[in-house]
Structure 1
Amino acid sequence: MSFKSQHLAGLLAGAYLALAPLSSSAQGLPAAGGEVTYADVADLADSAGLVVQAQVAKMVRIEDARARGLTPGHGRFYIQAKTRALLVGKAPLGESVSYLVDLPLDASGKAPKLKKQDVFLFARAVPGRPGELQLVTPTAQQAWSVRGEARLRAILQELVAPDAPARITGVRELLFVPGNLAGQGETQIFLNTRDGSAASITVKHEAGAVPVWGVSFSELVADVGHPPQRDTLEWYRLACFLPNVPPAGANISSGFGQQQQALSDYRMVLGELGPCSRTLG
């Protein structure tokens, strides 16, 4: 067996590649409707220990028979790339990296030509294999662009900020309390977070006015009237992870009417957040 074959065999044996179904936009190729979304990039950035900008130097296709779990219409490739920059991560990287990636094939069975193209890699280091990376998902290689780099750097900056909003895991309680005057009231929506930190949404009602709301990712009172803007980390945490319906028993408001108001306020918040659009599988 040649050195090249031995190296490939070792990589295939040691590398991990998540094999969830791929969408038409896999590996940074735009979906039919356009580019990857903010949520796509945030999903990848939030799950990767390493975010690397690299330039593809070499692509070698792996035989389909050796590509376990390969999605139909795709090919698995061994990539060697030149390291451009380490955007996030503490693992030391040399001048080059290597990894496995699944790429969609065209009608002729050919993969996109990526040689000399810059890409972003969302990955983790392979223990004991310097220079080898494991992509966190099959869509974790994304095409580089000026606009894409600006958006990615903004997301990464938000993620590492000391006051970064925690990951939302669910809704703990909803409580509507009427005010002293007719038309007044307030709904508190208390959220569960992965790290156990405080997070809540407040909806306020005033007579003759449209309800206003805000979110707090701390013990402080929510900034009511200034909900998170779309395509920010606060928006992503809510829009992409709040359930469509609160869990049974979470609505602890007193009486049917108040429970309905709390539920209506929850639906209003979801409506104003808008859909969490994703194009990657």
Structure 2
Amino acid sequence: MVASPAGAAAGLSYADIVDLADGAPLVANVRIRNIIPLKPDQAGTVPSGRKRLFVEAEVTGLIRGESGIAPIVTYLYDAPLDARGKTPKYKKAQMIVFARSGTRPGEIQLIAPDAQIPATAEELSRVKAILAALVAPDAPPRILGLGDAFHVAGTIAGEGETQIFLRTENGDPVSLSIIRRPGQPPRWAVALGEIVDEAARAPEPGSLLWYRLACALPPALPPSSVRALAPADADAARADYALVIDALGPCGRTRTKG
């Protein structure tokens, strides 16, 4: 495999790759055959520090795309400039592109200015695993926001349980449950269904379910979620939600979502 240009899209996080994969109807492995830098009057508006290129590439593997793809594709890419104002050497480089079909045969459009990453073995494996998780029958839905929260205090000081319902894109039920018992660390879980049972667990970091929560949930429980609760129960629900946010940790995006 031909080495990819240094700095083409190094260091993207798990969340960055899911952002790209989740929004791309077409994902392909390509080998760049030719690039043509566009003149300013041809390029249009280009972000600072980048140069717009017309790229011709050979498709070496279709990773996602029901309608197929032409063997040779063309697209525009805004390449980052180095300290000398030069673009990396892309010719013959193997890349993964996240795209949609263009208006002409053989033309594709990247879904974001940086939706081209080096096709290393590690990145190919990661992209394929993410795409498989996105289309799995039990894939967690996109989270739109928070619904109602409920809290029930226990009979013993320090005992209680909070349940927080999430709003999802497809309407599937998703909820968070937080249980506190005296002398034990708090335990929280996420349920993908109407019933919270013993099988419910906190998501594994770096999993699609973790991404759906860590990258979509607001930092604090909004007033609308606790409007029906007594003040003490609302305070407990807020504290339990904060525990979940702290446990999830930061989403980890390093790029501007496009």
TM-score > 0.5 by shorter chain:
yes
The aligned residue for residue 75 of structure 2 is: 99
Hey, what does 1:182 align to over in structure 2? 157
- 1:248-259 matches, within 5 Å, as 248-252=223-227, 254-259=229-234
CA-to-aligned-CA distance 1:223-259 (integer Å, 9 cap, x gap): 5773101110000000000011222221146322211
Residue type of the alignment partner of 2:167: N
Do structure 1's residue 130 and structure 2's residue 105 form an aligned pair?
yes
Q: Give the share of equivalent positions with the same residue, in percent.
A: 39
Question: Distance between the aligned counterparts of 2:136 and 2:29, measured in 1?
Answer: 21
Which of 62, 86, 89 is equivalent to 2:38? Answer: 62
Q: For residues 46 and 29 of structure 1, what CA distance do their matches in structure 2 show?
A: 18
Q: How does 1:206-245 map to 2 (within 5 A)?
A: 206-221=181-196, 226-245=201-220
1:178 offset after TM fit, Å? 1.3
Partner of 1:204: 179
- Residue 121 of structure 1 corresponds to 97
Partner of 1:17: none
Task: In structure 2, list runs of 5 or more residues that go unmatched.
Answer: 1-5
Secondary structure, aligned partner of 1:249: helix
CA distance in 1, matches of 2:151, 2:228: 5
2:9–2:116 Cα contact (<8 Å) kept: no
Query: Is structure 2 residue 51 aligned with structure 1 residue 75?
Result: yes
Cα separation, 2, equivalents of 1:67 and 1:95: 25
Q: Does 1:110 align with 2:62?
A: no
> What displacement does 1:222 show?
5.4
Identify which of 42, 47, 51 aligns with 2:23.
47
Q: State the secondary structure of the residue aligned to 2:223.
A: coil
Aligned to 1:38: 14
Distance (whole Å) between structure 1 residues aligned to residue 106 and residue 70 of structure 2: 6
- Aligned counterpart, 2:3: none
Distance 1:235 1:223, change over 3 A: farther
Q: Does the 8 A contact of 2:51 with 2:81 survive in 1? A: yes
Could you tell me whether the CA contact under 8 Å between 1:93 and 1:131 is conserved in 2? yes
Separation in 2 of the partners of 1:144 and 1:135? 16
CA shift at 1:180, angstroms?
3.5
Deviations 1:123-180 (A, max 9, x none): 11124x1211111110111111111111111111100001100000100112111124
Q: Distance in 2 between matches of 1:59 and 1:83?
A: 15
SS in 2 for 1:114: coil
Q: Find the aligned partners of 2:8 and 2:185 in 1 and give their Cα distance.
A: 41
Give the Å deviation of 1:262. Answer: 0.4
Q: Distance in 2 between matches of 1:63 and 1:106?
A: 18
Moved more, 159-168 or 224-233: 224-233
Q: Distance in 1 between matches of 2:8 and 2:180?
A: 44
Structure 1 stretches of 4+ with a deviation exceeding 4 A read: 222-225
Residue in 1 that maps onto 2:244: 269
Give the aligned partner of residue 4 of structure 1: none
Question: What pairs up with 1:161-176 in 2 under 5 angstroms?
Answer: 161-176=136-151
Kindly indicate whether the alpha-carbon contact (under 8 Å) linking 1:213 and 1:224 is maintained by their aligned counterparts in 2.
no
* Alpha-carbon distance between aligned partners in 2 of 1:123 and 1:71, rounded to the nearest angstrom: 19
2:9 matched to 1:29?
Answer: yes
Match of 1:121, as an amino acid? V
TM-score scaled to structure 1, two decimals? 0.85
Aligned to 1:3: none
| Distance in 2 (alpha carbons) for counterparts of 1:28 and 1:221 | 44
List alignment gaps of at least 5 residues for structure 1: 1-25
Q: How far apart are 1:181 and its partner, in Å?
A: 3.5
